[in-house]
Structure 1
């Protein structure tokens, strides 16, 4: 009779709740509602529309690469661990360390951006209900932003089992809002010229070349599709993750593409006066689009509430993902630690960090020709593997280039894209962290570890995987208290 203790490993997430979290971390409806007007000066609606279609095609190659890895590796590290397992051992520590940092920082920026959107929408709702209240002071936005951050932290710390229910609530609100307001705008809103939606390029960037304006306008499409590996970080809390995760990621991307495509076209035909909506007193142009399109202030208020629910649950979902990725990185010994231009730097840094970490598994597979990719009966692409990896890598390079370019000309202190400065500072921090501690403490996993049930309770291991080395299992069991403390610190960040 085996002396190994029986450990309960409850699965916090199931198929639909994981799809819900993936929906809200990718969140095409909520993100496009907030940033679509921002992209109009750089190329206009045609760039947003075709950029979204092209980006989805390229991103689908990254997701297919993820599905190959997810069907073989079940760990909360996501893209960071996928690349880690595929790198030869002698290079693993040096390459995996910055990748872990980038993936974690990318999710921090994603969460910060979602919280910033919720804070802006909250003040916009106040203005819709009480126009006499002045919402312009920046300190008010900051107070709401900190409050949203605190609530997300609190839920992750003490109410984690309620998060799947809240994510499903956010999905229901999103679905209702998308369907209801799509129908309302199609029926009631004055319609723009189809040329402005499908053909006419707008260039208000200050650059003489329309090509540059188009290139700059692509950053909105890039930013919309950066929550790709959210469900992957739930691998240790899902039943049968190697079976479910690939299906979840493909389902999320395809459904979000349909939602995003329809919503871009609907909003495009509903925007007839750009200058009027961009000067909205609410600070949120989409609310003015809804108010003008439906002719109802109440409709705008309801839409604002839906967007708050959508982005609040998105912020919560990104906090969940951030904490899981941070936990996985900390477990490996690698982690110890609002002006417009600031927001642009936030988005640019998020896009840069995310896309480097997302593109890394495809790059490693391309370089190594998949020699370290374990054999599996499903999710094999045969002769299509190399084109999929190549498109993923080329797209990632393009995103990095565009994300650091200034968005307007001439470049001033207020219009400068500070992404390159932020990334430079982060690179310096990573170098110092490696010198001070990482080179001694960082130990990337050398095999597929399945630790379902250890987040957030860290109560034990999934004993269903016969491939887990016994010594590693015992080591994790002995260090449960240490990891619980590490997880709380990671969530607190």
Structure 2
């Protein structure tokens, strides 16, 4: 804290296991793979899902290795925008740092709602399971469920804030054990699809001009199940021995989640022999084919409910963790004057030692955002698309800044976790992976495109870039103090 020019304001109550639980349960790899199973099969099929996940795992490993090194140099709640400020070329460091702060802000705020919508969807799917003939789906039902989930998660970030490490540790246990509670019944009871079909049959149900293009579009849900482990970085000022613990957490979280996710993907692909019939069922047509798979295998609504509740609990824990992450990033950005009303937002509640105002802002934003769903599902999907591409963009800028510093031969600060001579190669390959992945975040799932199926994420992302740039030149460049101005490496 002395080196980065800050005073300790938050309580350091996270250890390696608790922060590992925080990161592992936030991204919820196998749970997201289950709940988005139908979307993943639209483009790529079972083979595309499996091989896309393998590629995504190796690509994200390069990304998180780069972020782990940056976190070891500067473990701060600011994360990406702090690193860009410290390591990017001087002529553009202030603007790029400011832009990175806004990218992280919009990305993490939108991420809260995206996971909350998955939880709300699970609840609606269970209602359809029990009342397929009488229940009439309405978008406002989902909206109210999402708001209730977010408000409930808010309690764990305020009144129960001191218990957050314990909560995340318990959710980590459910996250790991829950996989086997779901997978074992499927392997024991479900009919099998042939290995040849699972590993070699690609499908293009999105109507794209080539199988390769369909495969790339199908990486979107896979990316969502692996991205976001940088959440632990934004909790750095609440972690003991952060310069060592954060890199360890990053490098353990990914293989742990990737292993669990790969097991679940194989399970779902092998245990869904008739994908067409699954889609044409009541649950499949409503958007919950995985629930139909569970029901077909168990033949029991009670058994299906238990199997569905396990990922639901983990995803709820993810919402809790995302509120913590988004609020800490906002709080850090506000203390540098990066957002309107920064002085108020940067205030820390001394009783609970938490950035209460930043948490309240995050709560307000995510109560208002779901209301968009009542008017237009395409608009709310655009907000969720903005989440993924904004966070990926922040990765590209901060890793690119580190790569430029390396290519210039400039010395790096002392750090406990280092890529050493492999740094240039790892950073370069990470950016080569992130660039196409970010671009395909803008693609719609199917073609030809209509107004209701269009992905408006590019419009939202462009509008955010334009707004933050205009705000920077008229006000932000005067109020924003880049973190590098406070860094004292000689301390």
TM-score bucket of the superposed structures, by smaller chain? 0.7 to 0.9
**Contact 1:30 1:311 (8 Å CA) reproduced:** yes
How far residue 347 of structure 1 moved from its aligned partner, in angstroms, is 3.6
CA distance in 2, matches of 1:217, 1:7: 43
1:240 to partner: Cα distance: 0.5
- 1:421 corresponds in structure 2 to 459
Q: Equivalent residue for 1:125?
A: 126
Aligned residue number for residue 280 of structure 1 = 282
Residues of 2 paired with 1:196 and 1:331: CA distance?
54
Range 264-273 or range 330-339, more displaced: 330-339
1:381-420 map, 5 Å: 381-420=419-458
Partner of 2:305: 301
Which structure 2 residues correspond to residues 59-458 of structure 1 after superposition, within 5 A?
59-131=60-132, 134-278=135-279, 279-281=281-283, 283-336=287-340, 338=373, 341-342=378-379, 344-369=381-406, 374-376=412-414, 378-446=416-484
C-alpha displacement of 1:372: 5.5
Deviation of 1:407 (Å): 2.2
**Is the partner of 1:376 in helix, strand or coil?**
coil
Alignment check: 8 A CA contact 1:73 1:448 kept? no
Q: What per-residue deviation string (whole Å, max 9, x for no partner) do you get for residues 46-99 of structure 1?
A: 111111111111111111111111112121012222222212444221110111
TM-score (norm 1): 0.85
- State whether residues 120 and 142 of structure 2, in contact with CA within 8 Å, keep that contact through their aligned partners in structure 1: yes
The change in CA–CA distance for 1:367 and 1:312 in structure 2 (over 3 A counts) is: same
Q: Give the distance between the partners of 1:7 and 1:416, measured in 2 at CA.
A: 46
Deviation of residue 129 (structure 1)? 4.2
Q: Any conservation in 1 of the 2:243–2:415 contact (CA below 8 Å)?
A: no
For the aligned residue pairs, the C-alpha RMSD in angstroms reads 2.3
Range 339-348 or range 181-190, more displaced: 339-348
Q: Deviations over 1:174-227 (max 9, x none)?
A: 222201221111111111122332000111112232122112112222222221
Greater CA drift, 361-370 or 408-417: 361-370
Query: Residues 262, 100 of structure 1: CA spacing in aligned structure 2 closer, same or farther, 3 A cutoff?
Result: same
Deviation at 1:343, TM superposition (A): 5.1
Contact 1:156 1:319 in 2 (8 A): yes
CA distance in 2 between counterparts of 1:58 and 1:109 reads 23
Distance 1:111 1:399, change over 3 A: same
After superposition, the Cα gap between the structure-2 partners of 1:64 and 1:19, relative to the gap in structure 1 and judged at 3 Å, is: same
Structure 2: distance between partners of 1:270 and 1:249: 32
Tell me how far apart the structure 1 counterparts of residues 228 and 9 of structure 2 sit (CA, whole Å): 31
Moved more, 191-200 or 149-158: 149-158
What's the counterpart of residue 12 of structure 1? 13
The alpha carbon displacement at 1:127 in A equals: 3.1
Give, in angstroms, the shift of residue 266 of structure 1.
Answer: 0.6
Label 1:448 to 1:389 Cα distance change in 2 as closer, same or farther (>3 A): farther
Secondary structure of 2:157's aligned partner:
helix
Equivalent residues of 2:30, 2:262 under 8 A apart: no
Cα distance change, pair 90–7 in 1 and its aligned pair in 2 (3 A): closer
Q: CA deviation at 1:413?
A: 0.8
In structure 1, C-alpha distance between the alignment counterparts of 2:159 and 2:474, rounded to whole Å:
33
How far residue 409 of structure 1 moved from its aligned partner, in angstroms, is 1.4
Aligned to 1:452: none
Deviation at 1:131, TM superposition (A): 4.4
After superposition, give the CA deviation of every residue in 1:376-402 in whole Å (9 maximum; x if it has no partner).
364333332111011111111111221
* More displaced stretch, 368-377 vs 132-141: 368-377
Counterparts of 1:145 and 1:301, CA distance in 2: 19
Structure 2 match to 1:478:
none
Q: 1:53 to 1:7 in 2, by over 3 A?
A: closer
SS in 2 for 1:179: helix
Which piece of structure 1 moves more, 119-128 or 382-391?
119-128
| 1:234-256 CA distance string (max 9 Å, x none) | 11001110111111110001111
Paired residues in the alignment total 448
Contact 1:62 1:359 in 2 (8 A): no
Shift of 1:111: 1.0
C-alpha distance in 2, partners of 1:247/1:7?
22
Greater mean deviation of Cα atoms: 295-304 or 7-16: 7-16
Q: CA deviation at 1:447?
A: 6.4
Match of 2:50 in 1: 49
TM-score, normalised on structure 2? 0.86
Change (3 A) 1:212 1:467: closer
Query: d(CA) in 1 for partners of 2:58 and 2:100?
Result: 24
